[in-house]
A and B are shown apart, each in its own frame.
Chain A
Amino acid sequence: MTDTATTERPTGLSGLLSRITTGSNAGSLRTSLTTVASSLAAVAIALSICAVLLLVTGKSPVDAYSTILETAGDSNKLLEMLRRSTPLIFSATAVAVGFKMNLFNIGVEGQYLFAALIAAEAGSRVSLPAVAHIVFILLVAMAAGALWASISGILKVYRNIHEVISTIMLNYIALSVIQWLFENFFRDDTVEGLNVKTTIIAESGQMPDLVDGRLNAMFLVALATAGAFWVLVYRSRFGFRLRASGYNPNAAEVAGIGARRMVIAAMLISGAIAGLVAMYSVIGETYAYGPSATPTQFGFAGITVALLGRNHPIGIVIAALLFGFLDSTSAVLQLADVPNSIVKVMQSIIVLAVVVVNEATIRRLNARTAEQMRAQTDSGEAS
């Protein structure tokens, strides 16, 4: 079972192995180029669909797209892009860990909000030296996210409940539990009015800004997490087992990779990364958890970014930057008399287009591989 690097796209068992060991779906340069090209094509298709949508509804697509392009030159907008991409990178990485072994973690939403509350509360109750305080809060967030995600993992392993159903249900249960904990135990009662929060975290636990008031260091943590994801998934024994279980659970089981343990481990890691999604806000901006202050909806956005980035760390960072950029243009669009919700519609259509084009590409590649194999066997028989 050697990993034979042939000039042609390897097929069969060696193909599977090489796809696992070379670290991405792209077994060769040609396939990675195809991947990039098809992604770009998908984005182009999506933008044209949105242009038609704008035209039909009586808005000018030229205005909209030129406004979006103009913002690209504004350095403040670019900082805004980095800020908005931070939670998306975490969320998409969390989703991608699950995808690597065909686990669909729709529960990032509940996991990160639960983690945000627990970490904010824990962070406000301890006093530690500066760096240790931040590390402590991040670790608590990861533990809380992992804890919530582990429920789905346990239900899947021991009660055979599909993770899609359990994570959906646990999202809603999380919202209830968070509200209950917050209102009865964690709320800072000295704060009046609508903007209620947990107790403010002391300065030692606050994440320093990279650019004053515009971007904090959680962005670097996000990039580091994407890097760690790459090492973990493509360069560690655990990652090999993870991907092997994803490609072929039965083969993995036969090879001695316990499927149950892998499910639990994948959910724990996914949940731990999910726990960090809202930290850019909790320890970087508001220094507390608040029902209206802490951003929501990043769990679902993460799924789209992971899909767009094809579950690869580099793809995820690029996709998160793209979505972060689109989000940052919404204020300007409104000024140009284009409803800014078109940006979110655009993102959803981009993802749909990418998934569709991806599926079509895979099918074509498979058909070609099958064709080549047939040609090989035919010539083999002839000689």
Chain B
Amino acid sequence: MNLLQRMPRIVTIMVVFVVTMSVVRTWTGFDDLTSSGTIGATLRLTVPILLAGLAGLWAERVGILNIGIEGMMILGTWFGAFGAWKFGPWVGLLFAIGGGMIGGGIHAISTIRFGIDQVISGVVINLLAFFGVRYLSELAFVGQPQGGISQSPPQTSAIGRFDVPFLSGGRIGGWTSPDILGNLEERGWFIIGDVAGIARGLTNGVSWASLIAIVLVPLSAWILWRTTFGLRLRSSGESPESAESLGVNVIRVRYQGLLISGAFAGLGGGFLAIVSSSYYRQGQTAGRGFIGLATMIFGNWRPTGVLGGAAVFGYSEGLKLVAGNSITGLFLFIAIVAALAAVTGLVRASMRRTLAAAAVVAVAMLAYLTVDEVPESLTQSLPYVITLVVLGTASQRLRPPARAGVPYRPGSAH
């Protein structure tokens, strides 16, 4: 039932996105807005943020804030790169998961066993991870070819990528199937070309690791909302006293949640060190743990929401990477979407909404007409600004787990 109710909204969003993007592309001539190259880059850049967001989700769903995701990701990059360098990329990903779980375990012991403030524990884990891997690098990487205190030696093998047969020219046995989407994209027809570009970006040259990460979204949703285990996890974050009174071992459940959270963060870090690049580098996570936290918030603590948020950030990063000058096209995109919102506001006779949307249209159009180039330095802060704006304007509609951040002592239900 839940799915049925939500399905149309997702479809609406996607249709609005594709049609508006087609209009903007045809209008501005920025073909890269929906090119398979941009979408492919978007996917690669979305995955680590997505995994960080899911890490936050798993922790907060059991009732524990995780400011330490960034640190757990750092552990993931280091252990991932180490494992991949020694034993190959797949073992590397397992190492990354293990590294993240070390961070999750420390967070669990300090917040659950010792009851220290969850934010403080997270901050300390971030510092410990940052300097800890520096220490480890000094032992393991210094003196190795191309290795050093802030960098690992490069890996020699990588995780495979696949093209889907018939859609994106994947190979079946020795035979290369036709690249149908690629052909359609090249024609550049209105809407059809855009759909083809987006679909090809998602089916061409996709890393198996990306596929696994995407599968983890429905898997997380299924476990958390459709299994007994998931119910126990969520009840620990919503009302631990009631959960305990019904026989749930809240402490154990919270440990499990944080270890899973650490595993997700570690995998996100491993992706950066093994798939996005082929070595560990200091500062590789570049605040993605915190962006993940942001996607969790405006994804409303739901896996699909986290995916949506991560995709927005991944897209803005991907577009910047592939075709930085196309960014101005996004102003037009915002203007059109805001105009649609203004129209629906009129239909629903909501004066406030119409006026607010009209104001956004005016600002976005002005920006589109006057700004030739958005400074790189300012676009970097986009995810963080969006997060604050969403929190400031839509916080009524957000619903975090009721007891996230509140320490729990077993036996406090009397």
- A residues near B (Cβ < 8 Å) are 57-58, 104, 106, 155, 159-161, 164-166, 168-170, 172-173, 175-177, 179-180, 183-184, 300-301, 303-304, 307, 339, 341-342, 344-345, 347-349, 351-352, 355-356, 359-360, 363
Contact = CB atoms under 8 A, between A and B. Distances in A.
B381 A172 contact: yes
Contacts of B293: 165, 168
Given A161-B388, A184-B375, A356-B114, A341 B134 contact: yes
Contacts of A57: 135, 139
Interface stretch (B123-131, B181-189, B305-313, B315-323): B123-131
A304 B124 contact: yes
A349 to B, nearest CB: 7
B380 interface: yes
A297 to B, nearest CB: 9
B128 A345 contact: yes
Contacts of B380: 172, 175-176, 179
Contacts of A159: 391-392, 395
A179 to B, nearest CB: 4
A176 B377 contact: yes
Contact of A344 (B65, B134, B287): B134
> Which 5 A-B pairs have CB atoms at the shortest separation, nearest pair first?
A176-B381, A344-B131, A339-B138, A179-B377, A169-B384
Given A164-B119, A169-B294, A360-B114, A345 B132 contact: yes
B381 A173 contact: yes
Contact of B392 (A155, A173, A184, A356): A155
Contacts of A172: 287, 290, 380-381, 383-384
A35 B2 CA distance: 53
A286 B315 CA distance: 40
B124 A359 contact: no
A363 B116 CA distance: 11
Contacts of B383: 172
Contacts of A161: 388, 391-392, 395
28 contacts: A106-B119, A161-B391, A164-B67, A168-B67, A168-B293, A169-B294, A172-B287, A172-B380, A172-B381, A172-B383, A175-B380, A176-B380, A177-B381, A183-B377, A304-B123, A304-B127, A339-B135, A339-B139, A342-B135, A344-B131, A344-B135, A345-B132, A345-B135, A347-B131, A348-B127, A352-B110, A355-B117, A355-B120
- Best-surrounded residue of A58, A172, A301, A342 (most CB of chain B within 10 A): A172
Given A169-B294, A170-B384, A173-B385, 8 more contacts: A106-B123, A155-B392, A165-B294, A180-B377, A303-B123, A341-B138, A344-B131, A345-B132
Contact of A300 (B116, B126, B139): B126
Q: Is the interface of A mostly helix, strand, loop or mixed?
A: helix
B297 interface: yes
Interface in B80-119: 110, 114-117, 119
B120 A307 contact: yes
B210 interface: no
A355 B395 contact: no
B3 interface: no
**Contact residues on B (Cβ < 8 Å of other chain), bracket:** 35 or more
Q: Is the interface of B mostly helix, strand, loop or mixed?
A: helix
A331 to B, nearest CB: 14
Contacts of A307: 120
B378 interface: yes
A360 B115 CA distance: 8
A307 to B, nearest CB: 7
- Best-surrounded residue of A58, A155, A161, A347 (most CB of chain B within 10 A): A161
Contacts of A106: 67, 119, 123
Nearest to A334: B138
A133 B366 CA distance: 42
B375 A352 contact: no
Contacts of A348: 124, 127-128, 131-132
Contacts of B381: 172-173, 175-177
Nearest to B127: A348
A166 B388 contact: yes
A359 B116 contact: yes
B387 interface: yes
A165 B388 CA distance: 9
Contact of B135 (A165, A169, A341, A359): A341
A184 B378 CA distance: 12
Contacts of B134: 341, 344
Contacts of B138: 339, 341
Contacts of B391: 155, 159, 161, 165-166
B154 to A, nearest CB: 22
B124 A355 contact: yes
Contacts of A166: 388, 391
A69 to B, nearest CB: 20
- Best-surrounded residue of B127, B294, B375, B391 (most CB of chain A within 10 A): B127
A46 B138 CA distance: 21
A359 B115 contact: yes
B385 A300 contact: no
A159 B394 CA distance: 10
Interface in B193-227: none
Contacts of A168: 67, 290, 293
A63 to B, nearest CB: 15
Contacts of B127: 300-301, 304, 344, 347-348, 351
B112 to A, nearest CB: 12
Interface in B130-152: 131-132, 134-135, 138-139, 149
Contacts of A344: 127, 131, 134-135
Nearest to A168: B290
Contacts of B375: 180, 183-184
B123 to A, nearest CB: 6
B387 A169 contact: yes
B114 A165 contact: no
A301 B115 CA distance: 22
Nearest to A179: B377
A292 to B, nearest CB: 14
Contacts of B377: 176-177, 179-180, 183
A351 B121 CA distance: 10
A359 B297 CA distance: 29
A360 B139 CA distance: 34
Given A339-B139, A348-B131, A355-B116, A155 B124 contact: no
Nearest to A161: B391
A142 B321 CA distance: 37
- Best-surrounded residue of B110, B126, B135 (most CB of chain A within 10 A): B135
A58 B136 CA distance: 12
Interface in B227-248: none
Contacts of A165: 293-294, 297, 387, 391
Contacts of A304: 123-124, 127
Contacts of A179: 377, 380
A351 B124 contact: yes
